[in-house]
Amino acid sequence: MPELPPAPRPDPIPGRPPRTPADALQWVGLLAVATVTIVADQVTKVIARRSFTPDDPLDVLPFFQFTNTRNTGIAFGQFQDRQVIVIALSVVAIGWIFVYFARSGGRHPLLPVALGLLAGGALSNLFDRLAQGYVTDFLHLANFPVFNLADVAITIGVVLLLIVLLRGERQAAT
């Protein structure tokens, strides 16, 4: 007999969609997305560290190049050389992702993808910070800070999460 999805729990805040805990399949989805994100990010960082230096970047297009830089901060150069703060913020963010997913992961089919991208990107960059003391960034668009695949995954995850949350709020209002 097929397993029934968990019943939504009433939410004390009127207008908010009900919480629906994540089931086993949704956890598998989140963990698969996170794992693929981590592996892809780590492999590309190894290639960048072996192939490029800040003094010898590879120009791909007039506005895009591959390089190899060490980032001791977070987005847009914030908290440079403050690893304890950056690691603590990363651990808190990763913890929030998993707690939120456990409580509300069944709310929308895109939620495992969005949170898997966020968790995978955050975990991969956290691994770099703990293992090396910095994050390898290697993708450089003109007039934009250098970044990596984990950063791309985090950005896409945030956009998807906003879509999920806004759709849920819109559906709750109707």
Catalytically active residues are: 137, 151
Per residue, the 3-state secondary structure of 31-58, as one string, reads HHHHHHHHHHHHHHHHHHHHHCECCECE
Contact 140, 146 (CB under 8 A): yes
To the nearest 10 degrees (0 to 180), the angle between helices 83-104 and 24-51 is 150
Residue positions counted in the chain: 174
